[in-house]
Amino acid sequence: GAGVSQSPRYKVAKRGQDVALRCDPISGHVSLFWYQQALGQGPEFLTYFQNEAQLDKSGLPSDRFFAERPEGSVSTLKIQRTQQEDSAVYLCASSLGQGDYEQYFGPGTRLTVT
């Protein structure tokens, strides 16, 4: 089947605008992760879902960041009042869960805040 998909692939936002980033995980994958990757660095954990439950949001950098996965499949990462430091690639990954740790990444959304 299809891999993890993300949309949009590129997003340019003016400082102060709200953005919404979408992730479609692999069908049947229970676990879904969001990561932020700044230029030249490794991905940094943001938040984790098991089905529709958000079990860990310790990596969200501020209360301007919000994520949801209401039906346990598609997830949306929302950033309110974007700041320049939010510019990065936002990666989504999914895994089967339940002890199966292999995570498969989507292509990412490159967010540029001007």
Partner 1 sequence: GENVEQHPSTLSVQEGDSAVIKCTYSDSASNYFPWYKQELGKRPQLIIDIRSNVGEKKDQRIAVTLNKTAKHFSLHITETQPEDSAVYFCAATDSWGKLQFGAGTQVVVTP
Which one, of 54, 26, 58, lies nearest residue 45 by Cα? 58
Question: Residue written as tokens 């590129």?
Answer: 10
- Taking CB under 8 A as the criterion, which residues in 66-105 touch partner 1? 91, 93, 95, 97, 101-105
Beta strands in the chain (DSSP E): 5-7, 10-13, 19-24, 31-37, 44-50, 53-56, 65-68, 75-79, 88-95, 104-105, 109-113
| 47/82 with CB nearer partner 1 | 47
Measured from the CB atom, the residue of 17 and 107 that comes closer to partner 1 is: 107
Q: Which of 14, 42, 63, 84 is in the footprint of partner 1 by CB under 8 A?
A: 42
18 binds partner 1 (CB under 8 A): no
* Among 7, 17, 45, 72, contact with partner 1 (rule: CB under 8 A): 45
* Footprint on this chain of partner 1 (rule: CB under 8 A): 31, 33, 35, 40-45, 48, 50, 55-56, 91, 93, 95, 97, 101-108
